[in-house]
Structure 1
Amino acid sequence: MQQRFAIPPVVRQWIFPVVIVLLIWWLQQFPGIIETYYAQGIYPYIGATLRWLFGWLPFSVGDALIAVLFVFLLFTLVQTIRRKKQYAGKLGWLKHLVQQLLKWLLWIYILFECIWGVNYYRKGSAYLLQLQPDLYTTADVDTLLNTVNARLHSLSKDSIAIRQSLTQDRQQLNEMVTVAYVNASQQYSWLALEHSSLKPNLLGPLQSYTGYGGYLFPFTGEAQVNFHAPAFTLPFTVSHEVAHQLGFGSESEANLIGYLVGKQSTSALLQYSTYAEMHDYAVSDMWVRDSVLAKQRYKEVPYMLQLHRKEMRQWVMEHKHPAQQWLNWIYERYLWSNNQPQGLQSYNRVVAWLIAYGKKYGWHQL
């Protein structure tokens, strides 16, 4: 009787996860399907469920999971080394360890894509707002700067109220931004926010040395924010991270959504924080095009914002650390691998979105 071909067990355990990864990569080629059936179909339930499960806890479950994973990896390494005689060959233990790690990484990647990562490949703002950010001129950037600066000057007329409402309190910021999203959802139904999940990082003040104001932990749906950053930046940072929670993966689109929510907010502080951030992005863009004009526009902002920018520069200098360049290097490659070829410059692409918005709806609508 002829013996049937048997697939080795080592190969057999890789077939299923590899097939799933290939299917995910295939699905990424169809933004329309992702937008309709995932981003606006399945994901809103996934996100709301995660925020409902973990949002009420006062600490970051995501940070705790990272700590547990680190301990687990260390335990696995120690156990594998202790039992290295059980594996064939001189480096059999190392081969086994690498295989185990790769298998775990593969399943983590699959879980990441299914829970949130596929959002990087949706149609997003271009489809929902019927906007197409095209090439723009230096004059367009200058128009944007002047428009945003006018909003800042208007808001700064009530500078006392803004200063008095500055806060680093998580609950107050959470309420401020949640109300803003509820208001914005009356115009944009896809911004409806069910349950909130805003968390401080377990690193506490040490997070300031990473150079990041916030991030989304996709496996728990928690928006992590560095509440030790200058208070005037925090409202927009929170708004940006909530945009990620709602499925906007691209950094430029999260900035755009944060802007749309902020500009319609009833909170003068959130409006101020939003326009201050947009002005920074526009000045940065202008600097590359015309540094002399950029310096001029930078100085034209209200005196209150000049003071806040001075505070921000001092805070950045106090928290500079050599590790930041390596963290930036890692993060840039993360962005590259998730459909954001501009890397860290992806954040600044919000300038193109704002100009497209201004040209379509009128600069007075910005």
Structure 2
Amino acid sequence: MNRKLILPLFLVFQLIGLKILSFFPEVVEHYYSNGFYPPLVRISRITLGKIPFSVGDVLYCIAVFFLLRWFWKQRKTWKMKWKSNLLSFLGFVSVFYFFFNLMWGINYLRIPMYVKLNIEREYTPEELLAFTKLMIVKTNAIHSQLVKNDTVKVVLPFNREQIFEKTQNGYDNLVKAFPYLKYENHSVKPSLLSTPLTYMGFGGYLNPFTNEAQVNNLIPLHNFTTTTGHEMAHQIGIGPESEANFIGYMATIYNDDIYFRYCGYAYALRYCLGNMENFKEGSSEELIPLIHPGILKNFEETEKFWDSHQTFIDVIFHTFYDNFLKVNQQKDGLEGYSKFVGLMVNYYKTNKL
């Protein structure tokens, strides 16, 4: 057999193996997510957590440099040696994908959060409307405690390093109710690639190879809090974006700091309004007058930030990531981000807000 075929064939076997493994979430939960994974990432976070810059970002830059260098060197051979070059590239993808899954990706296949919480996933427009109204009341109340005038937007009195430190408090409180969400060995950093991430349309990401949580250093501070909580959720082995959103939100509202709680509730409210529009266009308009104008100004700040950086690059990377999630058994793709609304609506049917 041609030795160049080995790694591409291994990629096929990986995809088949992961598909089979997806039918056994209890096995993944026991042997990987609560067995192999925790000590592995503990080593990574203890080793790299104290380093002030993102080692993962540096490694990605080096990898991209050598990959582009390889493409450049092979540019004159693509027509004559296209099979050989394609096999070489697929070999690289195969190795990358293997270590991605070994070091984090298998968490996509663990027992879903809705099963652990013993709740449903689906909800009706009526349930969403009732929950959204409840969120408006909660967000308005906290907003009134932070500003003297309801037309004033909330400005966080923290810098980004303080937000990193304070987010731990939310997880420390959250673990009392959910012991399996324990977060230890802090390793959260501002991304060195914040500008590219912004134009790609991402607020942050988890580096699966170093287990560093990277947060886009340019996004508005009230988004920075919830994004930090989201990426820390990925660090403890939460794969699906809907679940990371839900846990990031919960860790934010469980925080002792009232500014964090405001950010969490406002974040959830914004998603609820968006999901109402998904059910029926214009259905959220009747609720807008109920929301303090200052909260809407925070929403507008977020929208202006992303709109001002939207380019074709955003579309390309979102399409790529959407398909990447689907390949990894996340059938909702990027829609998974908003699916956390279903977790919230159903969770609060039996729990107090």
User: So what's the TM-score if we normalise by structure 1?
Assistant: 0.87
Q: Deviations over 1:309-343 (max 9, x none)?
A: 22223223322223211122112111211222222
Letter in 1 for 2:310: K
Q: Matched residues in 1 for 2:75 and 2:269: separation?
A: 55
Alignment match of 1:171 (pick from 161, 177, 186): 161
Cα distance, 1:140 vs structure 2 = 0.3
Q: 1:157 aligns to what? A: 144
Look up the SS of the partner of 1:247 in the other structure. Answer: coil
Alignment match of 1:144 (pick from 103, 108, 131): 131
Aligned positions of 1:227-246 closer than 5 A = 227-246=217-236
Q: 2:253 aligns to what? A: 263
Q: 1:4 aligns to what? A: none
Letter in 1 for 2:115: Y
Cα distance, 1:213 vs structure 2 = 1.0
Cα distance, 1:17 vs structure 2 = 6.4
Letter in 2 for 1:262: T
Q: 2:80 aligns to what? A: 91
Asked if the contact 2:213–2:235 (Cα under 8 Å) also holds between the matched residues in 1, the reply is: yes
Q: Matched residues in 2 for 1:72 and 1:210: separation?
A: 21
Cα distance, 1:155 vs structure 2 = 0.8
The verdict on how the C-alpha distance between 1:97 and 1:149 changes in structure 2, with shifts beyond 3 A counting, is same
Cα distance, 1:70 vs structure 2 = 2.0
Greater mean deviation of Cα atoms: 101-110 or 51-60: 51-60
Greater mean deviation of Cα atoms: 276-285 or 37-46: 37-46
Asked if the contact 1:63–1:201 (Cα under 8 Å) also holds between the matched residues in 2, the reply is: yes
Q: What are the ranges of 5 or more consecutive residues in structure 1 without an aligned counterpart?
A: 1-6, 85-89
Q: Matched residues in 2 for 1:221 and 1:328: separation?
A: 22
Q: Deviations over 1:43-84 (max 9, x none)?
A: 1222222222222222222221122112222443455579x7
Letter in 2 for 1:69: A
Q: What are the ranges of 5 or more consecutive residues in structure 2 without an aligned counterpart?
A: none
Matched, 1:60 2:84: no
The verdict on how the C-alpha distance between 1:22 and 1:148 changes in structure 2, with shifts beyond 3 A counting, is same
Cα distance, 1:299 vs structure 2 = 3.3
Q: 2:105 aligns to what? A: 117
Q: Matched residues in 1 for 2:211 and 2:300: separation?
A: 34
Query: For the pair shown, which has the larger CA radius of gyration, 1 or 2?
Result: 1
Greater mean deviation of Cα atoms: 196-205 or 246-255: 196-205
Greater mean deviation of Cα atoms: 273-282 or 286-295: 286-295
Q: Matched residues in 2 for 1:243 and 1:117: separation?
A: 14
Q: Matched residues in 1 for 2:7 and 2:185: separation?
A: 38
Q: Matched residues in 1 for 2:113 and 2:231: separation?
A: 16
Cα distance, 1:114 vs structure 2 = 0.9
Look up the SS of the partner of 1:68 in the other structure. Answer: helix
Alignment match of 1:298 (pick from 285, 288, 291): 288
Tell me how many residue pairs correspond in the alignment: 349
User: So what's the TM-score if we normalise by structure 2?
Assistant: 0.90
More helix by share: 1
Q: Matched residues in 1 for 2:350 and 2:208: separation?
A: 33
**Identical columns (%):** 28
